[in-house]
Structure 1
């Protein structure tokens, strides 16, 4: 069976922007405006407060890992800093190594953190399927992966970008599957945590070309049609057929960008009986025809198709 989580993360096309080690001492506070980019951090020593967008502050301690797939504003402070302390600017003390707060003496907190970006044209859609925030405690594997990302980011070894992309994929998957219990809000992770819904989600990802309906998906989940539809919408955040359509279109975009299949073959791969019906559905969902989308992605494969 397909692994929906792995497929979503792979389609996101994660790539590193930077990874750095930050240490702090004394009272300090840092504010950063984001652009909706992903942020992750592994606390190596000490503890500090992290405030993400309009959420209540989260106290992180050594051994904690946090992942925010899309962040607009971050505010960090040492655990006991007064709330009105002026923001500080980290001082660079080495390659990708920064100090914040009191400059002398031993560090009281050390954090390996990074920002990455998602290269997928469907990043906003795919990120909406993920939890808004993931907080994992006591998973040494995550800290080790973050350290590997940082080391690779600083290296100049051959195939560096390819290795970083794969490491980030593993990091994101490990973070998403390591959390205990349901994720905050709705989305794919919560759907996969529900044994009944997980069966339907895996079936969709394993056989997107199948003529799925709410009834056949409900049968995969061993639920009645009405119970399945209500449960899927409540837990995943979208109706079953809406999820199926958006996933098919995400796959279709990837196939069109890959330029390896004809339009008819792409249509068949994503569950449409003809290129015409596929083209109508694609244009309605994406806003352009498959041929125009392929040309815009640099593909000459469908240049003669209207």
Structure 2
């Protein structure tokens, strides 16, 4: 697994959901904050997005994609003024439109379910709003995913119930990739552009249960131990072995939440020699034992919409 895939997989739960919104004339709708990530794809027309966080209104045009990775509340409207008139999004679901005059606007609006208790720092540093305009020649894979989504929505061919969630998962990967390629702030784009740090991260993520040491990891990255420690710590914000410990426990938490694997199996996969060793490290990191975490995570998952 590569770092971006792992960063997304660690927080993704369940399946994404989406709704098609088609409106015309004067309209304004509010989407409440969400314990996950929201997204919008403008299929036809254009509109404005106004973040609740006080950021500048964002103009959205046909083909634009926007990701709200921290689930911030926001308004979608025909105009960025007078957002007090916004009605809840649930009251705006009009798949056939209402012919209210003015240009028609059609969007795909959706949510990804995320478990923020173990957010990877790459995902944590995404801005509140990631706007990816439809520019010719930019991010062709993202544009292709948008086109495929539009086709699935229009035609509802056999297999669409599987195709649509899969395309939405693909869309999330492409949105994160596109942000990383254009980001002017944040450390993780720099992390993954540094060959030494990237080589070390790739080694750790490919085999987290291996008996890694600083010397062995430096050899895998092709540099001295001192060089690895300096560059890795400066860019990632943790020393290599501290990052490995955190990542192993994050993987263990994911396995405890998503599977019925025994504690011994989870410990082995995470690189711990015994369930006791895992339990000790896990309790220190999360403040609860693995068993209590599993019960709590399962209960939270059942309560989520």
Give the TM-score of the pair, scaled to structure 1: 0.73
User: For the residues of structure 2 that align with 1:163 and 1:17, how far apart are their CA atoms?
Assistant: 13
- Cα deviation per residue 1:242-290 (whole Å; 9 max; x = unaligned)? 4322321121123334223x43333232122333322211111122223
Matched, 1:135 2:131: yes
Task: Report the equivalent of 2:42.
Answer: 43
Q: C-alpha displacement at 1:171, in angstroms?
A: 1.8
* Distance (whole Å) between structure 1 residues aligned to residue 107 and residue 34 of structure 2: 22
Superposed, which structure 2 residues align to 1:136-151 within 5 Å? 136-138=132-134, 139-147=142-150
User: In the alignment, is the contact (CA less than 8 A) between 1:128 and 1:187 conserved in 2?
Assistant: no
User: Given the superposition, is the C-alpha separation of residues 189 and 62 from structure 1 closer, same or farther in structure 2, using an over 3 Å criterion?
Assistant: same
Tell me whether 1:104 sits opposite 2:101 in the alignment: yes
Q: How large is the RMSD of aligned CA atoms in angstroms?
A: 3.6
Matches within 5 A, 1:134-283: 134-138=130-134, 139-147=142-150, 160=161, 165-179=165-179, 181-183=181-183, 185-186=185-186, 191-222=191-222, 228-229=228-229, 231-233=231-233, 235-236=235-236, 238-257=238-257, 258-260=259-261, 262-283=262-283
SS of the equivalent of 1:280 reads helix
Higher strand share: 1
Q: Deviations over 1:186-222 (max 9, x none)?
A: 4655533443322222111101012334554455444
Q: What's the secondary structure of 2:192's corresponding residue?
A: helix
- For the 8 Å contact 1:92–1:98, the answer to whether it is kept is no
- Residue by residue over 1:41-94, the C-alpha shift from the partner in whole angstroms, topping out at 9 and shown as x without a partner, is 11223333323323333322222211122122213333xx36346423376574
1:114 matched residue in structure 2: 110
Structure 1 CA distance for aligned equivalents of residues 93 and 55 of structure 2? 31
User: What is the alpha-carbon distance in structure 2 between the residues aligned to residue 85 and residue 117 of structure 1?
Assistant: 27
Q: How does 1:24-39 map onto structure 2 within 5 Å?
A: 24-26=24-26, 28-39=27-38
Separation in structure 2 between the aligned mates of residue 37 and residue 145 of structure 1, nearest angstrom: 24
Give the Å deviation of 1:129: 2.8
2:81 to 83, 99, 120: 83
- How far off is 1:17 after superposition? 3.7
2-structure distance, mates of 1:57, 1:234: 35
When residues 104 and 191 of structure 1 are mapped into structure 2, their CA distance, relative to the original with a 3 A threshold, is same
How many equivalent pairs are there?
283
Q: Tell whether 2:119 aligns with 1:126.
A: yes
Is the 1:32–1:73 contact (alpha carbons within 8 Å) kept by the matching residues of 2? yes
CA shift at 1:140, angstroms?
A: 2.0
Secondary structure at the aligned position of 2:212 is classed as coil
Distance 1:55 1:218, change over 3 A: farther
Contact 2:24 2:101 in 1 (8 A): no
State the alpha-carbon separation in 2 of the partners of residues 180 and 134 from structure 1. 10
5+ residue gaps, structure 2, are 135-141, 299-305
Contact in 1 for aligned 2:199/2:221 (Cα 8 Å): yes
